[in-house]
Amino acid sequence: MRSQRLRLPTAHAAPAALTALWSPPAWRATRNALAGLAVAVVSAVILGFPCVSWAAAIAAVTSNENNPGHIALYAAVILVVPLVLPWLVLGQTALQRSRLHATLGLEFPAALRPASLGRWPLGPLRSAATWRQLGYHVISLFTGLIGGALVLACWLLPVLTVGLLLAGDPGLFNGTGLCVLAIAVVLAAPWLARGVSHADEAAARALLGPSRSEELAERVETLARSRADIVKATDAERRRIERDLHDGAQQRLVSLAMNLGIARASLTDAPEPARKAIADAHDEAVLALSELREFIRGLHPAVLNDRGLNAALSGLAARAPLPVRVQVDLPRPAGASIEAIAYFIVSESLANIAKHARATHAEIAVTRLGNRLRITVTDDGVGGAAIPPPGDGPAGAWSGTGLRGLVQRATAVDGTLSIDSPPGGPTVITAELPCEL
Amino acid sequence: MRIVIAEDSVLLRDGLTRLLSDGGFEVVAAVPDGEQVLRAVAEHQPDLAVLDVRMPPTHTDEGIRAALAIRRMHPDVALLVLSQYVEESYATDLLSAATSAVGYLLKDRVAQVADFLDAVRRVAAGGTALDPEVVAQLMVRRRDDPMDRLTPREQQVLRLMAEGRSNQGITDALKVSPSAVEKYVTNIFAKLDLPPTGTDHRRVLAVLKYLGS
């Protein structure tokens, strides 16, 4: 947006005052003031008439002498005007915005998102933006009618003066005085126009643009949407990696391990070094296969897509190096991304328990409370785990960074994750995630 | 012994065919998806079908569904399901329809050639071959029951039974005497309230109780 400032006359006042007469900002401001005058007249009619009618109807109803036949008419006016006025305000705002755009180049972001307009017909009535816009229209009556009329007068006075002088009848004024006044007024005209425009622009920016809270709401919505997109994209990426590994590297490794197995079984009469090399290669291939499977199991197992969280947790629990009980009460799926995050939380929690907790038992419980998915992972280990504030190194018995990663995954979907781990245990990790609708 | 293979990866389909042929089996058909395997089984009436779980078109559980369909339409065909991952949920589906002549193994197991061929023979002969990982997963989901009466050692023995091992196999795995294994097995039957009928039948019942199905 461009902004024009009033520059005060200085040592170069005379030339500046003269050049201002044909400077682009002055003309722009003048056009704006004159257009403002025209639009203000429209405002006065379109918005003024309903308001005056409404006030008159109220006055008539509250007065003692009213004709019963007119009561219905008054009532209709009293009821209909509040319904119609907001829509008139919106229409008038559109008109003012296009004027401000045409004359001053001002752009207003679509201040009212359709959602915040609400339902027809009462939506605009309840919207604070409508009332702010009405405020602008009231102010623009002054800046437009008074300011615009003054600017117009400033430019018209010299014309009038010339006309009067030509007619040889300066009337009440003496000719010289009139000429001096006309010149002074003409020189003042650009500054006046710019002053009026400046006030108009300031009012428009304050009242026609989105309010601070609307801007923030808009921003929050954008951020929430982009964050949800990132969560979904991450989830999709994990699935893709899993599929690629399954169709590629894993198949090749199985084939390799199988061929080495066949070689190992059949080449019994090969020299000892060759047999040892084949046996080592075979063992390595089997180990690589198993490590790759473990890796994918921690990342995003295919069964999660196919059968959901409940089915996928069996594999996690069975693989943990301590006895784990699983209790899942999930009558409906919670949504693919949410279940993937829940899975990750359980997976990391079990890994942490195995590494740090010195526990003998662990328990996973998953329940759905209304629209929230609650996951608790309990262990009977030594406790003392804590989520370190960002920036700290590992803390407590647990690797703090791992726990912080879990918190991040949960909060990325507006979920929560907390840990209760007194010294001596037990440790309970509780996560709550919003289910997808 | 005649075998039909369903596996969508060409590499593994050819590998399995060679492995089984070298092992003395006759591979009568090797097909890439769940629909074709149903046709192949109907056509060839094999002794055993070896099925990959994840196959076209949806790449989810085609192999499990094909296995259930085969068991329904051709109850005499033994089923060996192979997968990159074993899942308790698939196993439950499979075992709900088939408790004999059925196997569910990780694909990794084909690398242990002799063990794998043993499992193939065992399943074809009407036995079971469940991957230790599947058994561990089923264990997690077991509801509270008489199992808790078993000592850890007895649970270990039962777990090996569920994998499809014979008493001799259990003896080898646990490095204990055959008579000790006999004793554990008898205790298990007693604690699970299984009447003394044919031993093999009781083994299956014990395993089923163990798996909670």
pTM, rounded to two decimals: 0.70
For residue A208, pLDDT beyond 60: yes
Nearest-Cα residue of chain B relative to residue A265: B113
Task: Tell which of B13, B86, B89, B138 to mutate to test the A interface (max A CBs under 10 Å).
Answer: B89
Residues B103 and B164: beta-carbon distance below 8 Å:
yes
- Please tell me the predicted confidence (pLDDT) of residue A211: 78
> From CA A228, how far away is CA A337, in angstroms rounded?
9
- Please tell me the predicted confidence (pLDDT) of residue A62: 82
Residues A374 and A327: beta-carbon distance below 8 Å:
no
Whether chain A has a CB inside 8 Å of the CB on B21: the answer is no
Q: What is the mean pLDDT of residues A19-32?
A: 82
- Please tell me the predicted confidence (pLDDT) of residue B190: 78
High-pLDDT (> 70) share of chain A, %: 86
Residues B54 and A302: beta-carbon distance below 8 Å:
yes
Q: Is residue A173 very low, low, confident or very high in pLDDT (cuts 50, 70, 90)?
A: low
For residue A395, pLDDT beyond 50: no
- Please tell me the predicted confidence (pLDDT) of residue B200: 58
**Can you list the domains of chain B with their CATH numbers?**
2-133 (3.40.50.2300), 142-211 (1.10.10.10)
- B3 forms bridges with which residues in the sheet? B27, B48
What is the torsion angle, in degrees rounded to the nearest 10, for the CA atoms of residue B145, residue B146, residue B151 and residue B154?
A: -110
A261-265, B75-79, B163-167: the lowest-pLDDT one = B163-167
Q: What is the DSSP letter of A394?
A: -
B65 to chain A nearest CA, in Å? 13
Q: What is the pLDDT of residues A284-315, one digit of tens each?
A: 999 999 999 988 887 788 899 889 999 999 88
Tokens 């608790």 appear where? A376
Tokens of A159: 């014309």
- Please tell me the predicted confidence (pLDDT) of residue A2: 47
High-pLDDT (> 70) share of chain B, %: 92
Phi then psi for residue A31, to 5 deg, are -55, -45
For residue A327, pLDDT beyond 80: yes
Whether chain A has a CB inside 8 Å of the CB on B119: the answer is no
Q: Is residue A397 very low, low, confident or very high in pLDDT (cuts 50, 70, 90)?
A: very low
Tokens 């038992």 appear where? A361
B197 to chain A nearest CA, in Å? 33
Q: What is the pLDDT of residues B8-31, one digit of tens each?
A: 999 999 999 999 999 999 999 999
Q: What is the mean pLDDT of residues B161-187?
A: 87
Name the nearest CA neighbour of A376 among A414, A417, A309, A431: A431
Its ipTM equals 0.80
A23-32, A106-115, A207-216, B175-184: the lowest-pLDDT one = A106-115
Q: Dmax over Cα atoms in chain B, in whole Å?
A: 51
Whether chain A has a CB inside 8 Å of the CB on B18: the answer is yes
Name the nearest CA neighbour of B204 among B187, B185, B179: B185
Question: pLDDT higher for A51 or A61?
Answer: A51
Nearest CB partner across the interface for B108, out of A262, A289, A310: A289
Nearest CB partner across the interface for B110, out of A258, A264, A306: A258
Looking at beta carbons, which pairs linking A406-409 to residues 24 or more positions away fall under 8 Å? A406/A344, A406/A345, A406/A348, A406/A349, A406/A431, A409/A341, A409/A344, A409/A345
A351 to chain B nearest CA, in Å? 17
Helix (H) or strand (E) holding A64: none
Residues B60 and A306: beta-carbon distance below 8 Å:
yes
Phi then psi for residue A180, to 5 deg, are -60, -45
Nearest CB partner across the interface for B111, out of A251, A286, A319: A286
Handedness of CA B143, B146, B148, B153 (dihedral sign): negative
Nearest-Cα residue of chain A relative to residue B52: A251
- Please tell me the predicted confidence (pLDDT) of residue A422: 92
> From CA A214, how far away is CA A220, in angstroms rounded?
10
> From CA B128, how far away is CA B165, in angstroms rounded?
8
Q: Is residue B120 very low, low, confident or very high in pLDDT (cuts 50, 70, 90)?
A: very high
Tokens 């007065």 appear where? A63
Task: Write down how long chain A is.
Answer: 437
For residue A185, pLDDT beyond 70: yes
Helix (H) or strand (E) holding A66: none
> Concatenated DSSP letters for chain B?
-EEEEE-S-HHHHHHHHHHHHHTT-EEEEEESSHHHHHHHHHHH--SEEEEESS-TTTSSSHHHHHHHHHHHH-TTSEEEEEESS--HHHHHHHHHH-SSSEEEEEGGGGGSHHHHHHHHHHHHTT-EEE-HHHHHHHHHTPPSSGGGGS-HHHHHHHHHHHTT--HHHHHHHHT--HHHHHHHHHHHHHHTT--SS-HHHHHHHHHHHHHT-
What is the torsion angle, in degrees rounded to the nearest 10, for the CA atoms of residue A375, residue A378, residue A383 and residue A385?
A: -20
Nearest CB partner across the interface for A324, out of B9, B19, B140: B140
> From CA B8, how far away is CA B60, in angstroms rounded?
12
Q: What is the mean pLDDT of residues A203-224?
A: 86
Q: Rg of the Cα trace of chain A? A: 39
Q: What is the mean pLDDT of residues A47-76?
A: 83
- Please tell me the predicted confidence (pLDDT) of residue B183: 87
Q: Dmax over Cα atoms in chain A, in whole Å?
A: 134
Mean pLDDT score of chain B, rounded to an integer?
87
> Concatenated DSSP letters for A146-213?
IIHHHHHHHHHHHHHHHHHHHHT--TTS-HHHHHHHHHHHHHHHHHHHHHHHHHHHHHHHHHTS--HH
**Cβ distance of B111 and A265 shorter than 8 Å:** no
- Please tell me the predicted confidence (pLDDT) of residue A73: 84
A324 to chain B nearest CA, in Å? 7
For residue A3, pLDDT beyond 70: no
> From CA A227, how far away is CA A240, in angstroms rounded?
20
> From CA B159, how far away is CA B132, in angstroms rounded?
8
- Please tell me the predicted confidence (pLDDT) of residue B213: 46
Q: Which residues contact A396 (CB under 8 A, 6 or more apart)?
A: A384, A385, A386, A388, A421
Nearest CB partner across the interface for B85, out of A247, A293, A317: A293
Q: Is residue B143 very low, low, confident or very high in pLDDT (cuts 50, 70, 90)?
A: low
